[in-house]
Structure 1
Amino acid sequence: MHKSSRPRPPTATTLTNNAAPALATTLPSLNRRSSLYGIPTLDRLGAVDSGTLRTTLNRGDRNPSANTLRRTKPMMRSSSAEPPSARLGATSNRVSASLPRPPAIVRHEQRKKNCLDCGGDPWIHFSKLVTCCFFPGLLRLLGKSNPVAQQAWREKIGLCVVIVALCAAVGFLTFGLQVTLCPPQSYESYSYFNKSSTKFALSNTLADKVIIRGHAYNFHDVRTLLLQRNLMDINGTNVMGQDLTLLFTPPQFCQPFQQQTWTCASISSTIASAAGIEASTKTTSCPSLSWLENLPRHKLTLSWNDISQYTATTHHKLIVFNNMVLNASSTAAILPFTDPLINAYASTDATRIIHSSRDLLAATLCLQERAIIGYIDSTPLGCLASSAILTLSTIVILTLVFTKFFMALFFHWFMAARLVKPHNVTASHIVHVEPEFDPTPYTVMLVTCYSEGEGSVKATLDSLVKTDYPDAKKLLFVVADGLVVGAGETRSTPDIVLGLVELDYSLPYPVPSSYLAIADGSRQHNMGYVYSGHYNCDGHRVATIVVVKCGTLEENDAAKPGNRGKRDSQMILMNFLSRSLFKDRMTRLDCDMQLRIRHLLRIHPSQLEYVLMVDADTDVHSDALKHMINAMLNDRNIMGLCGETRIRNKSESWVTAIQVFEYYASHHLGKAFESIFGGVTCLPGCFSMYRIKISKGSGRFVPLLVNPDIVEEYSENVVLTLHQKNLLLLGEDRFLSTLMLRNFPKRKMMFVPQAVCHTVVPNEFKILLSQRRRWINSTVHNLMELILVRELCGIFCFSMQFVVLLELIGTVVLPAAISFTIFLLVQTAVTGQVQLIPMLLLLFILGLPGILIVLTSRKMAYIGWMAVYMLSLPIWNFILP
């Protein structure tokens, strides 16, 4: 606590009101090249007064309409290329640009072309293609007057088109593929022969049937039909089970092969007499096969074994043509020249030889209409194809599910313990090291605050300070994002933070320092105070830096002066570390931070090696930092990692209760599986650690978190497309992970289950809905970026890229897939026909996480939370997406 003799920390009001006089009195004390900081610096505050404040942005240009300095996307090297070695002044050649000033005094040399009109982005082209019917004039009539708003609307429609197409593909795969490739028969199939008999007799099912063109019809139905047509009456005890195909009108292509005296009456009489049928013909017209279309029928099938044995043991000669079985012996009198064909290809498939002769093909086409007795008992090619596709897709999904499960088990059983094994420095490592040298790396603990209350902020800072790590090697770095008073609080968040810190008054009193913020227009110019001191808690004393973003004088009456967002707070530290590492030109804010860090830790900021990023509502376990540092020391390829985030307020409401198991599964199943590949796709912003740089020996190093490519792209301030908004504004933490994987695909992003923290989750459904929709949008767009990185671990179906593709598709089609599954389950309950594949998928997807709990954590309480989660599946799978 502060002594009474110390001056009170500035409040939200005094921070802004004192900016102008402090700024004026401080300007003369700084030189362009200051020996106090030991590096070349630029007198930035003096430049503010003259209207020529410069920045170290790379290739900056101006958006004249918004008076915004635009950070263009840097020229990215190949992801597979070796990172360049760092060098002194590596970023000193960046082209500087002016900070935004009022339009009246800003001179623009050339108006830049709006990037929305520039080609090269396939996503923009696709969105314009699917909305080509909506011209800009029409969109203006619909209220979309801004080109940026028009492009965002086009991208939304384009995204909806993609989602609908994928859902339709899943629906077609579930319901339409089988119907299309293997259409259901409108009739049942009967076996031609009696399979239970040792003799080749007609099947018992044909006892009350008649056979017409390979199908079995009910005898009474056919007789009634012919009587109604006033054509003939078929009767007699021998009619049932007989083939009556020849009683019906022959097709036109049989005319060349018919005898001139072959009339319907004579043929009918001949066939009827041969079959022992008493047929009384009332007219010379033959019955038509079309009359039978509405009668119930059954397809007759024969196997190849039936055909061979039947031909060998009887006088009938059967051949197969186009999957149809023809009894050519029954038409020998009509087509006598087919006898050579019958004798040569009896009991075989004669399709190929028949197609080789035009005359033979014409005769056989007539033969198939007059002599067909059934069809080959075989599965159609379309049915085989549909079954193969469905089986393959099921195998792929089940393989992924089981692979994730067993790899997560492997990670927990064999990798997790080795990952955090204490890193001991043996005598061989320190033989040439001076006795005073301490190899323990310096770590920055970044806490970003916004509107959190005193209890939440104090709990977070206390937990970080009390971690099992040397206090002399820790730097607590707190950024207060604006002069904001939280709900239910009487003091602003900066006042709360400063009240918890023992401030150091041996250095000059803080003054507001300008820097270029991540914003547009006049909001790009922001100012902040830098305080230094120590945080004391339970015998621990940790060096502390507090940066308060207070805004400019124009924001004095604004609701949230200085507020620029969490990404801007992160960039304050990342830009500072990048400039310190490369000995680049610094802002006044950077110089102030460097002075205070060197005073507190007695080191240059370039010696800081790790950054732990924590939200202000997160409590870190005392051993978490130690486990994270051990993982970094044990594997130099790790560039980022996260621990397990648990819920502090799990029993506060039903909204918090349904999130408990979802958090657990996402870490111990999802992130554990991704850690096998070394590619955790999302390090949560509430609790994650990044490596600032990696030493390559002989004074050489590779920048990681502060790599210029990452710093430049992560600090993009002009967001014009919906894709950019989802990456930079809705999910900046996931985008930072994406940038790390994209720039360093051969390095690792890991999950450390031993490092645990507790955080507060939304306790109201409307807040949860808003949060998850932001996360889902961010997830989709980040996965779209990651899927293009070919250098990720693995090949083809066994690669991280393929896993990302399936995760992207699964995220998009989740509501539709669950809907289809529920429909199939309901259909099973109603019809009694078991849908085996969807039931197995649902069983494995829902059951394996429960088995994972038993085999890994052995915390039976999570079984109960899993039951709560299953009851809330409609919320997770329908409402939230």
Structure 2
Amino acid sequence: DGPVNPARNLTKKELLHQRLVFGSVVVSLNIACIVASGMGYSGTWVLVVILFFKSKDFLSVWIQIFCRIYYKLKPLFRKIEVEKKAAWILSLIPAYSESEEQIVKTLFSLRDNGMGEHRQVMCVILDGKPRPIKSHMTKVVASFSRKYVSLKWKIGTLQIDAGFVDDIPTLCIEKTPNAGKKDSLILCHDLFNFPRSNMDQTIKDLRQELWSTIIPELTKSPDLSKFDLVFCTDADSTIHHGALAKLADACLADPKAIAACGFVFVEYEPGLEWSLWNLYQQFQYSFGQIVRRGAEHYVGKVTCLPGCITMIVVRPEMAGAIEKYAKPVTTFPVLRHQVQYLGTDRRLTYSMLSQAPYLHTLFVPEAGSETVAPQSLKHYLSQRRRWGSNAYFNNYFYFAGSNMILITRIAALIEISRLSMVYYRVFNTGLFLYGVATHFDALAILPLIIISFTPSFWFAFAVAFLNDHLRANWKKLFCGFCINRCISPFMSITVFSLVAKNLGSQVWGISGVTAGTNVTPAAA
């Protein structure tokens, strides 16, 4: 029971029609280009197409090179004084299928993170099944339950326990029934960030209760009226020492910053250090962050803030961001349903950046986090079907949405084109290799060699000189590079096909946190 959900549910017929239209357009474009290339083969045309699809990574490298040189030389001409501020941080740990041991491990990694002058309150929001987090509190100051209206427009129950894990103030909020991770994120920001205008009255009352009685008791600061930052991580992630302070300092140093994220590494579980899945995914993670996210940082528009290590600023624009993030879809286009109900990290990032063109999202590679990667083809494809859907369809909004700067729109257009033409790209690559084998001309393909390998050379340079963690694992990254070169065409086709086939599906997929965990379908 609960309030009437205003969201529009697409009928099977409506969904089928939109899937057919989308699939027909994508397939037709790919077939048309394949036929045109095959019948009227032109080495120049093939080369131009490949250069276009690879242009984003090439330009991303040069943006970073020029910006790094600029910021190295800038202090020589103008003295820059950065005043470090102390901040109150709310550290959020949403949990679904993670075990009690994993949650406690994350709590302790946050407790011992080295906060410097900053102070934190930890908040665990439990979904799925009960776990006795309260038993790990050395002191309990309050325990009570309240009703609330979830994102699914159902009346649920929140069991709230407040106390201390050693000397760190901690809140544990257990939701019944399960309402999903997105509901947990919205609940956290409704309670601890700037409140949105359409917040449910039950949450308004709970917010007032927490800030008038519980927070003052936990923080020993009766005058504290708000947190400065909200740190988001996952219960299966390990946060590197000092990461919170580095993210906090970066956010506080930029008055236009609305959020900052750290570097995500694959966690090498005991016995799986040389797992092919870990090698493959560590290279994927690292290459994307070094080449693409690094460039986005310098224009202040990181387009995906990973949920395992992101610091969000408590500022008025977040009220509008959460309102957009939580808004039910009442329109017909399946595209809006797809990004709103299946998207989490990337959709929240877009909701932030769409509030104003001056807002910045940052990347702080010195702040590291390790997360467990899928260890089977089934789990990998389930995760990438969801991630690929979020990346692909959110790019339509980065291209045509409100308050986006020109460079973000151009990058989104290139990504939409590159992903939509995946079948043609594979064919075109084969056609190019055929052309090289039959009439090799080194000068003709020199532009392609330069543009294709510049990102790889930059990645190798960054591994060798810019990131200690990656440098220590360079052999694994090289193996991952080789694996990626061999299987990426097949994986790209498979993942995009799954994305297209499942257009409109809100099924979250497999949620499994370690290789030894029994993976289960997770609720959306």
Instruction: Specify the TM-score bucket, using the shorter chain as the normaliser.
Output: 0.7 to 0.9
Q: Secondary structure at 2:357's aligned position in 1?
A: coil
Whether the 8 Å CA contact 1:658–1:869 is kept in 2: the answer is yes
- Report the AA paired with residue 653 of structure 1: S
Query: 1:763 is matched with which residue?
Result: 375
Matched, 1:525 2:137: no
1:722 is aligned to 334
The aligned counterpart of 1:534 is 164
Mean Cα displacement is larger for which, 608-617 or 728-737? 728-737
Determine which of 810, 834, 841 is the counterpart of 2:440.
834
SS at match of 1:743: coil
Structure with the bigger percentage of helix:
2
Q: How many angstroms apart in 2 are the aligned matches of 1:810 and 1:549?
A: 41
Q: Provide the residue aligned with 2:214 in structure 1.
A: 596
Q: Deviations over 1:471-519 (max 9, x none)?
A: 872111110013x2xxxxxxx4x32x223233424x4x31x21111011
Contact in 2 for aligned 1:615/1:686 (Cα 8 Å):
yes
CA contact (8 A) 1:610 1:692 kept: yes
State the alpha-carbon separation in 1 of the partners of residues 37 and 455 from structure 2.
25
SS of residue matched to 1:678:
coil
Query: Helix, strand or coil for the counterpart of 1:787?
Result: helix
Q: Determine the structure 2 residue equivalent to 1:865.
A: 480
The counterpart of 2:241, out of the listed 622, 644, 653, is 622
- Tell me how far 1:841 sits from its aligned partner: 7.2
Give the equivalent residue in structure 1 for 2:4.
68
Out of 174, 182, 192, the position equivalent to 1:567 is 182
SS at match of 2:400: coil
Q: Distance in 2 between matches of 1:759 and 1:846?
A: 29
The Cα offsets for residues 229-269 of structure 1, whole Å up to 9 and x where unpaired, read as: xxxxxxxxxxxxxxxxxxxxxxxxxxxxxxxxxxxxxxxxx
Q: Which residue of 1 aligns with 2:504?
A: none
For residues 474 and 416 of structure 1, the distance between their equivalents in structure 2, rounded to whole angstroms, comes to 33
- What is the match of residue 817 of structure 1? 425
CA contact (8 A) 2:113 2:242 kept: yes
Provide the rounded CA distance (Å) in 1 between the counterparts of 2:49 and 2:441: 15
Task: Name the CA distance, whole Å, in 1 between partners of 2:194 and 2:242.
Answer: 31
What's the CA shift for 1:600? 0.8
Question: Which residues in structure 2 correspond to 1:332-351 (within 5 Å)?
Answer: none
* In structure 1, distance between residues paired with 2:383 and 2:179: 19
Q: How does 1:213-228 map to 2 (within 5 A)?
A: none
The letter of the residue matching 1:667 is Q
Which amino acid in the other structure matches residue 590 of structure 1? R
Partners in 2 of 1:838 and 1:818 — Cα distance?
Answer: 20
Asked whether the 8 Å contact 1:518–1:716 carries over to 2, the reply is no
Of 282, 286, 297, which residue of structure 2 is paired with 1:660?
A: 282
- Cα distance in 1 for residues equivalent to 2:162 and 2:20: 50
Letter in 1 for 2:440: V
Please give the per-residue CA displacement for 1:409-438, whole angstroms capped at 9, x wherever unaligned. Answer: 34556659999x99435xxxxxxxxxxxxx
* 1:246 matched residue in structure 2: none
Aligned pairs for 1:212-611 within 5 A: 396=52, 399-411=55-67, 423-424=82-83, 439-470=85-116, 473-482=119-128, 484=129, 492=130, 494-495=131-132, 497-505=133-141, 507=142, 509-510=143-144, 512-520=145-153, 524-536=154-166, 541-550=167-176, 562-577=177-192, 586-594=203-211, 595-601=213-219, 602-603=221-222, 606-611=225-230
Alignment partners' CA distance in 2, 1:399 and 1:581: 40
Say if 1:763 and 1:844 are closer, same or farther in 2 by CA, change over 3 A: farther
2:415 equivalent to 1:803: no
CA contact 2:47–2:448 (8 Å) conserved in 1: no
Contact 1:422 1:630 in 2 (8 A): no
Choose which of 9, 24, 27 in structure 2 pairs with 1:164: 27
> More deviation in 409-418 or 720-729?
409-418
Please say if residues 446 and 477 of structure 1, whose CA atoms lie closer than 8 Å, have aligned partners that are also in contact: yes
1:133-144 correspondence to structure 2 within 5 Å: none
Contact 1:530 1:589 in 2 (8 A): no
The answer to whether the 8 A contact 1:577-1:606 is kept is: no
Matched residues in 1 for 2:285 and 2:444: separation?
25
1:636 to 248, 255, 259: 255
- Superposed CA offset, 1:715-743 (max 9, x none): 13467753234213322211011111112
Out of 365, 388, 410, the residue aligned to residue 776 of structure 1 is: 388
**Contact 2:50/2:425, CA 8 A, preserved across alignment:** no
Contact 1:70 1:716 in 2 (8 A): no
Distance (whole Å) between structure 1 residues aligned to residue 371 and residue 430 of structure 2: 34
Matched pairs, number: 475
1:802 Cα offset (Å): 0.9
Quick check: 1:686 aligned with 2:319? no
Aligned to 1:607, the other structure's residue is in SS state coil
SS of the aligned residue for 1:68 comes to: coil
| Residue 814 to residue 418, structure 1, CA distance change in 2 (3 Å) | farther
Structure 2 Cα separation of the partners of residues 873 and 866 of structure 1? 10
Give the AA of the match of 1:149: K
SS in 1 for 2:463: coil
Q: Distance in 2 between matches of 1:543 and 1:587?
A: 22
* Separation in 1, partners of 2:123, 2:179: 18
Q: What is residue 505 of structure 2 aligned with on the other side?
A: none
Q: Is the 8 A contact 2:150 2:179 kept in 1?
A: yes
Identity of aligned residues (%): 20
Distance 1:170 1:583 in 2: 48
SS at match of 1:728: helix
Deviations 1:678-704 (A, max 9, x none): 1111111121111111xxxxxxxxx02
Deviations 1:564-617 (A, max 9, x none): 100101111112235669898654433443331121112466421211110111
What's the TM-score once normalised by structure 2's chain length? Answer: 0.81
Tell me the CA shift for residue 621 of structure 1: 0.9
Aligned-partner Cα distance in 2 for 1:611–1:418: 31
* Partner-residue secondary structure (3-state), 1:532: strand
Q: Is the 8 A contact 2:46 2:432 kept in 1?
A: no
Gaps of 5+ in 2: 465-470, 497-524
- Structure 1: runs of 5+ lacking an equivalent: 1-50, 54-66, 72-114, 117-146, 180-385, 426-438, 485-491, 551-561, 694-702
What does the per-residue CA deviation read over 1:201-238, in whole Å, with 9 as the maximum and x for residues that have no partner? Answer: xxxxxxxxxxxxxxxxxxxxxxxxxxxxxxxxxxxxxx
Query: C-alpha separation between the residues in 2 aligned to 1:515 and 1:417?
Result: 54
CA distance in 1: counterparts of 2:435 and 2:99, whole angstroms: 52
**Given the superposition, is the C-alpha separation of residues 414 and 454 from structure 1 closer, same or farther in structure 2, using an over 3 Å criterion?**
farther
Letter in 2 for 1:758: E
* Counterpart secondary structure, 1:806: helix
2:236–2:372 CA contact under 8 A, matched in 1: yes
Letter of the aligned partner of 2:297 in structure 1?
A: S
Q: CA, structure 1 residues 804+447, in 2 after alignment: closer, same or farther (shift >3 Å)?
A: same
> Offset at 1:840?
5.5
- Which structure would you say has the larger RCO, counting Cα contacts within 8 Å and 6 or more residues apart? 2
CA distance in 1, matches of 2:70, 2:97: 42
Deviation at 1:812, TM superposition (A): 1.8
